[in-house]
Amino acid sequence: MVENDTIQETKPVDDRFGKLGGWLARLDNRRVICIGLFGISVIVMLFYKPFKQIVEGDQAIYDYITQSILRGQLPYRDIADIKWPASVYINAIAVWIGQGFGLQDIFAIRLMQIIEVGLLSIFTFLVAEVYLKNRAVGVIAALFPLLNKNFAAWVVMGSQPKLPLMVFGMLSLWLLAKDKPFWAGFTSMLACMCWQPGLLFTGTAGLVASNYLRNWRDLRAVKVVAGALIPLLVLFGYFYLKGAFGDFWAWSMEYNYGVFGPDANRGLERALQHMWRVMRRIFEIDIVFLVLSIGGYFLFVGERIYRRWKGKENSYTEAWFKDALIFPVLVYFLFCLINMQAGPDLIPFIPFIGLFAGWFIFRVGTVIGKIKLLQRPHLSWEVLATCLVIALMTGVVLRRATKYRIAGMTLQDQYRDLQPVAAALGPDDKVYVHGTMEVLVLLKRRNLNPYVLLDWGADQFAAYKKGVEFKDIIAEMDAQAPKIISLTRLRTLTNKAELENWAKAHYDELTITDGKPIYIRRQP
């Protein structure tokens, strides 16, 4: 592995061992590093016990949507959701394949997530290699997500749309740098189809490929747009042919920009305070990497401005694509100022934190190496600094992973706690769940209606789309007399009291799982 500014290809090894030697001779450092990073990522994630983690939170919602797709249901029409659907369809494919091997659907989803972590490590490394011309920085960036137990939990506990968003997003940056604008546009739109803010990768590719909208003659930008349009038209066409385009547009676009965005907006000062609190809580001692990455980001931006100001890169050169590393961080930061909810919203930052922290460390090594008193023959401070950081990170990653233990409930405990619910339900009995999605996922039941989570004004929006008041939706649910209900995550519901009063009027507590009460319909 070479850690200086210019990546050099390794010389082929002598073929001393027949076919094995010939294979090794064709194996370059890039492949070895990518395979190693993928393997380390998968192994580390397995240490976080994906087959014992409980089902809960937003991951459970997307696990449920995945199951619903395989039952023949359709997102938005049958399950109200606000994110675009590529991630759940990817997981549905994983479950479908897993069924052929007798694999439980929850486990197939989690294995798919772990594979995506491995792919993210590879693409992050490749981005560092081509944009920063530094493989050591790429290794640092690829290892950084593995340091964080919270990141691991978000991944191994179930569906996490922001993870494939970053897999496709980093792949699009790499393809842009490899001068494949069509496929850069294509994969950037796949990122957007996992979660709408992924559109920033399409915007980045188009802006840089057109040299800031100044050059369209070489067709790079046109190819980006053409590549992006294909998956977008497939998405729109699919829901249109299914007769659900109106539901898709209402929940994933109209609600987001008309209701959720304004309601969840904290204002600039509170947004910055909230973001910092979340980062401190999630990164803990690793916050030092965030600090280093901020320095590395501004250092990189300064270098890009300097080169353009000096006239060295005013037109297309071999480094025409490098500005593309600047915009995803900036645009996503602005998005978070408008709407950032919790820890998983940091996932799109994490690969870039690793990249720019590694770049800062490398540049510090370069500065140290220029100090005459510290210069030594055959000693590269850049190599020393980055290799020491890689060694330290690898040790910490392995130590944290091997020492990880589940502190609370396990998946097996959840199954046990839900036995009274399973015993109470007949094959034709109906269930209504708001928030407590593990009930539906673990029992593989269909919800009474699409409204599995109605926070941030979604309850009022649902009523508006149906042309009724929310009390009419409750009356409709009551008419179907679901035998089992569970109501959690009601804090931001406008009609919280109405739902709770309905439950009190018709239901008694049956059991409690992980502190969440589950109710059974009272006998008349």
The predicted structure's pLDDT at residue 230: 98
Residue 437 has pLDDT above 60, yes or no: yes
Residue 16 has pLDDT above 50, yes or no: no
The predicted structure's pLDDT at residue 447: 96
Q: What one-letter code names the amino acid at 74?
A: L
Orientation angle between helical segments 162-177 and 105-132, nearest 10 degrees:
30
Band of pLDDT at residue 28, cut at 50, 70 and 90: low
Give me 209's structure tokens.
């490929």
- The whole-number average pLDDT for the span 25-31 is 67
Give pLDDT tens digits for 116-148: 999 999 999 999 999 999 999 999 999 999 999
The predicted structure's pLDDT at residue 2: 38
Residue 3 has pLDDT above 60, yes or no: no
The predicted structure's pLDDT at residue 368: 77
DSSP for residue 445: -
Distance CA 289, CA 379 (A): 25
Helices (H), 339-410: 350-369, 381-402
Distance CA 400, CA 60 (A): 25
- The whole-number average pLDDT for the span 422-444 is 95
Looking at every residue in the chain, the average pLDDT score rounds to 90
The predicted structure's pLDDT at residue 17: 40
The predicted structure's pLDDT at residue 20: 44
Residue 517 has pLDDT above 90, yes or no: yes
- The whole-number average pLDDT for the span 216-236 is 95
Q: Which residues face 239 on adjacent strands? A: none
Residue 178 has pLDDT above 60, yes or no: yes
Give pLDDT tens digits for 255-305: 988 888 787 777 888 989 999 999 999 999 999 999 999 999 999 999 888
Give pLDDT tens digits for 299-357: 999 988 888 777 666 555 567 889 999 999 999 999 999 888 889 999 999 999 999 99
User: Which residue matches tokens 């100022």?
Assistant: 337
The predicted structure's pLDDT at residue 228: 98
Give me 7's structure tokens.
């990546």
**What proportion of the chain, given as a percentage, has pLDDT over 70?**
91
Q: Give the number of other CB atoms < 10 A from CB of residue 505.
A: 9
* Spatial contact of 503 and 487, defined as CB atoms under 8 Å apart: yes
- The whole-number average pLDDT for the span 493-518 is 93
Instruction: Let me know how many helices (H) and strands (E) the chain has, helices first.
Output: 25, 4
88-92, 207-211, 261-265, 364-368: least confident range: 261-265
Give pLDDT tens digits for 143-172: 999 999 999 999 999 999 999 999 999 999
Distance CA 276, CA 272 (A): 6
Q: For residue 105, which of 164, 45, 62 has the smallest C-alpha distance? A: 62
> Max Cα separation, the chain?
89
Sheet containing strand 507-513, strands side by side = 431-434, 484-487, 516-521, 507-513
| Secondary structure in 3-state letters for 12-69 | CCCCCCCHHHHHHHHCCHHHHHHHHHHHHHHHHHHHCCCCCCCCCHHHHHHHHHHHHH
